[in-house]
Amino acid sequence: MNVTFPDELIGQIADAVADQLANRKIKESRTPYTVAGFAKKSNMHPATVRRHIESGQLRKVDGISKILIPASELDRFQ
């Protein structure tokens, strides 16, 4: 079975897919990191990441028992 779509429809579908992928990337980039995840992304040892948190050089998400680091800190630290 061969189905043909008009070029205009294909363009609209392609634009919609590109928008969804861009939104997904933005959403993923805002997800906070665990210490291990931040260490891997920043090429630091997890102990170094913890030291930066303890010294106040690196922010963490407050109010929860697990240490999470905002994604924006990765940009600031690189």
Give the number of domains in the chain. 1
pLDDT at position 36:
94
* pLDDT at res. 29: 59
User: What CATH number is given to the structural domain containing 61?
Assistant: 1.10.1660
Q: Identify the pLDDT of residue 72.
A: 84
- Answer with the residue of higher pLDDT: 23 or 66: 66
Could you tell me the pTM of the whole model? 0.59
Would residue 62 count as lying in a domain?
yes
Query: Considering the domain boundaries, does residue 34 fall inside one?
Result: yes
Return phi, psi of residue 60, to 5°: -130, 165
Residue 27 within a domain: yes
Percent of the chain with pLDDT over 90: 35
Across residues 22-43, what is the average pLDDT? 80
CA 58 to chain centre: 17
For residue 30, is it within any domain? yes
Q: Which domain holds residue 54?
A: 7-77
Distance (Å, whole) CA 49 – CA 64? 18
1 in any annotated domain: no
CA–CA separation, 23 vs 36, rounded Å? 25
- Reported as a single tens digit per residue, the pLDDT across 41-62 is 999 999 999 999 999 999 998 7
